[in-house]
């Protein structure tokens, strides 16, 4: 009896031991790629870490971009480890390596950071992953064909004229050009996305209370206090409540506009009404109700409205500022515009915008120096071999256009504003993944051509009326990272009326 009991205890002990070992093996198997990432991160160079917090607090530094990102390649090389709490990330800088990641359909998934933007942007093209992202991209892509975009040139022109009218009384005054440009870009988006005409905006009293004029992206603040990266903790905070309230306002407002556009569609007197992006998405939903729901319309509309504001507003303001700092480049733009328009007071056409080649070079050089989105992130769908290291499947990767655009072996004198870098003969020689202001590969920015046409229209309109002058005591630009790029203290210029300035477009 005693022997039998000893045998049973030994068997049970062995069974528990086997179960514990099996559980350990299962955990190791499930976490194998995470463990491989940790082992690789421990081998790679990177910035000094703070226990538990990793490198999260770097983003809080005022000169984070100038002192940390700019120097990363020289200090650590082309593959750098970064710790976000206990998650290893790999910062990839070289164009050859970036192409392996960005050009592949196997690495299109965004990292978990983008889930932090759902409350602000909604679950649209920027934040969505997987088959739903692919389906929505396929459905929406045709609406960004040039033949569709051309009809919005009149919208760009009307908003640019409104911008001029707000700036004309400020002749020879020092202004922070950012807020004026942002209002212009919002006018464009209101008409192009929501169907609120620029020329009739004063009749839409609701637009003054538009939630698209309010709110801000909070994800960067969560990095300042990394414990807020845990949703369970974040949901207990006032920041979370404010963000959810803003999300509700955005949803309610957008649904109201959708109803108005549906009602207008049912009205037989809307033949002269220009279609907006919302109209096309409503048609997509009507024709593909399972693949593109009413909720999807709301999410994508919010994405286009919110992402389009910060990115294009910043890019336009930075370009105007840099033209003020580089008068020789501004004179070349003015000469080009004079050649295109002469004494004609007309608004621009698609052909006019195509001929603004030097202005386009200036915009591209501005986006090289100050890309609107300076940091991207991807999750690898399979392992990737970069030089002598292999990044395991599931690895989190940072892509930093701000740093890649400053690699000295690709862009000599990288801090200098040299638009000629983007002359066709130089662009053809450069690696296609050395320039990433709109990302690249399957997830490149769907609105890149819309944005470029928009910026050309706005900047050319101002140059036809003003010389843009620098403000001597406000010429030191410090770029700061707030998910999109900002300028600490604003972007200050002075406008001086030209002798024969364009006052209003004539048809």
Numbered residues of the known binding site:
445
Which residues are within 8 A (CB) of 44 and not within 5 positions of it... i.e. 6 or more apart? Answer: 76, 79, 80, 81, 90, 389
E strand intervals along 322-440:
376-379, 384-386, 389-391, 396-399
CB neighbourhood size of 154 (10 A): 17
Radius of gyration over alpha carbons of the chain, in Å?
Answer: 26
Alpha helices in 193-292 (DSSP H): 219-224, 231-234, 238-265, 277-287
First CA to last CA distance, the chain: 108
Which residues are within 8 A (CB) of 310 and not within 5 positions of it... i.e. 6 or more apart? Answer: 372, 483, 484
Count Cβ neighbours within 10 Å for each residue of 315-353 and write b for 16 or more, e otherwise.
Answer: bbbbbbbbbbbbeebbebbbebbeebbeeeeebbeeebb
Cα–Cα distance for residue pair 30/7, rounded to 1 Å: 34
Please calculate the CA angle 493-498-502 and round it to the nearest 5 degrees: 105
Output the CA–CA distances (angstroms, integers) from residue 383 to 74, 386, 392, 442, 444, in the order listed: 26, 10, 4, 18, 22
| Per-residue tokens: 444 | 């490149």
Pairing verdict, β 396-399 and 87-92: parallel
Per the annotation, binding residues for heme are 445
Measured over the CA atoms of residue 154, residue 156, residue 162 and residue 165, the dihedral's sign is negative
| Per-residue tokens: 481 | 């990272």
CA dihedral of residues 255, 257, 262, 267 (deg, nearest 10): 150
Cα–Cα distance for residue pair 157/287, rounded to 1 Å: 32
Q: Which DSSP letter does residue 2 get?
A: H
Count Cβ neighbours within 10 Å for each residue of 394-415 and write b for 16 or more, e otherwise.
Answer: bbbbbbbbbbbbbbeebbeebe
């Amino acid at each position: 009896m005693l022997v039998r009991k000893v045998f049973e205890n030994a068997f049970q002990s062995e069974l528990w031991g086997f179960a514990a070992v099996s559980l350990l093996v299962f955990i190791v198997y499930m976490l194998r790629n995470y463990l491989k990432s940790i082992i690789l991160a421990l081998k790679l160079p990177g910035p000094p870490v703070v226990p538990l917090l990793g490198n999260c607090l770097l983003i809080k530094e005022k000169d984070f971009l100038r002192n940390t990102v700019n120097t990363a390649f020289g200090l650590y090389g082309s593959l750098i480890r970064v710790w976000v709490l206990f998650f290893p990330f790999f910062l990839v800088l070289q164009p050859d390596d970036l192409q392996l990641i960005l050009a592949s359909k196997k690495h299109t998934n965004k990292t978990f950071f983008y889930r932090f933007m759902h409350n602000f942007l909604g679950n649209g093209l920027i934040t969505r992953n997987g088959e739903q992202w692919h389906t929505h991209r396929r459905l929406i892509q045709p609406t960004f064909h040039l033949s569709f975009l051309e009809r919005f040139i009149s919208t760009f022109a009307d908003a640019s004229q409104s911008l001029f009218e707000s700036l004309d009384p400020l002749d020879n005054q020092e202004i922070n050009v950012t807020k004026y440009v942002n209002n212009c870009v919002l006018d464009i988006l209101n008409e192009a996305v929501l169907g609120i005409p620029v020329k009739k905006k004063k009749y839409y009293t609701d637009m003054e209370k538009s939630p698209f004029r309010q709110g801000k992206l909070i994800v960067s603040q969560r990095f300042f206090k990394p414990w807020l990266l845990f949703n369970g903790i974040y949901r207990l905070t006032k920041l979370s409540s404010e963000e959810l309230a803003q999300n509700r306002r955005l949803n309610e407002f957008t649904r109201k506009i959708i109803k108005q556009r549906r009602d207008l569609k049912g009205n037989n007197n809307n033949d002269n009404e220009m279609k907006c992006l919302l109209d096309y998405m409503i048609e997509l939903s009507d024709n593909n109700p399972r693949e593109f729901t009413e909720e999807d319309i709301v999410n994508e509309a919010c994405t286009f409205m919110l992402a389009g504001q910060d990115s294009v507003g910043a890019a336009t303001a930075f370009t105007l500022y840099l033209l003020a700092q580089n008068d020789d480049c501004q004179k070349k733009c003015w000469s080009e515009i004079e050649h295109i328009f002469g004494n004609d007071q007309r608004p621009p056409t698609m052909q006019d915008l195509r001929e603004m080649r030097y202005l386009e070079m200036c915009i591209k050089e501005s986006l090289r120096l100050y890309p609107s989105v300076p940091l991207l992130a991807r999750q690898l769908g399979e392992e990737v071999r970069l030089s002598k290291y292999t990044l395991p499947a599931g690895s989190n990767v940072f892509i930093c256009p701000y740093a890649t655009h400053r690699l000295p072996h690709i862009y000599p004198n990288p801090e200098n504003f040299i638009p000629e870098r983007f002359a066709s003969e130089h662009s053809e020689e450069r690696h296609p993944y050395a320039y990433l202001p709109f990302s690249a590969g399957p997830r490149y920015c769907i609105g890149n051509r819309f944005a470029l046409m928009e910026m050309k229209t706005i900047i050319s309109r101002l140059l036809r009326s003003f010389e843009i002058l620098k403000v001597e005591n406000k010429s030191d630009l410090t770029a700061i990272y707030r998910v999109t790029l900002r300028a600490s203290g604003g972007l200050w210029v002075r406008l001086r009326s030209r002798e024969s300035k364009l006052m209003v477009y004539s048809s």
